[in-house]
């Protein structure tokens, strides 16, 4: 999960999502399809269960290019 600094606009979140979606082993999760306000784009999520350490490092390097990114959290589906 990519976490953003407070106040980051959705267009910036979408730019990070698009810029880093090409990395093998890091499949970007689909955007919410309903219009519920609680489903606004807060964090960008990638499925990385099959990613190698090198692929995770590439993802981290990609998102770190954006000043609006506060951090990246890797967790398993059971966390």
Chain length of the chain: 79
Using CA atoms, how far apart are residues 72 and 75, in angstroms rounded to an integer?
Answer: 10
pTM of this structure: 0.80
Using CA atoms, how far apart are residues 19 and 48, in angstroms rounded to an integer?
Answer: 16
Q: Tell me, what's the pLDDT at 42?
A: 72
pLDDT, average across residues 17-22: 94
Say yes or no to pLDDT of 67 above 80: yes
Using CA atoms, how far apart are residues 70 and 31, in angstroms rounded to an integer?
Answer: 20
């Amino acid at each position: 999960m990519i976490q953003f600094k407070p106040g980051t606009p959705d267009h910036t979140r979408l730019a990070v999502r698009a810029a880093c979606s090409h990395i093998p082993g890091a499949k970007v999760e689909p955007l919410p399809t309903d219009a519920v306000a609680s489903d606004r784009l807060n964090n960008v999520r990638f499925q990385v269960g099959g990613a190698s350490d090198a692929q995770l490092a590439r993802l981290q390097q990609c998102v770190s290019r954006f000043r609006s990114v506060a951090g990246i959290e890797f967790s398993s589906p059971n966390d």
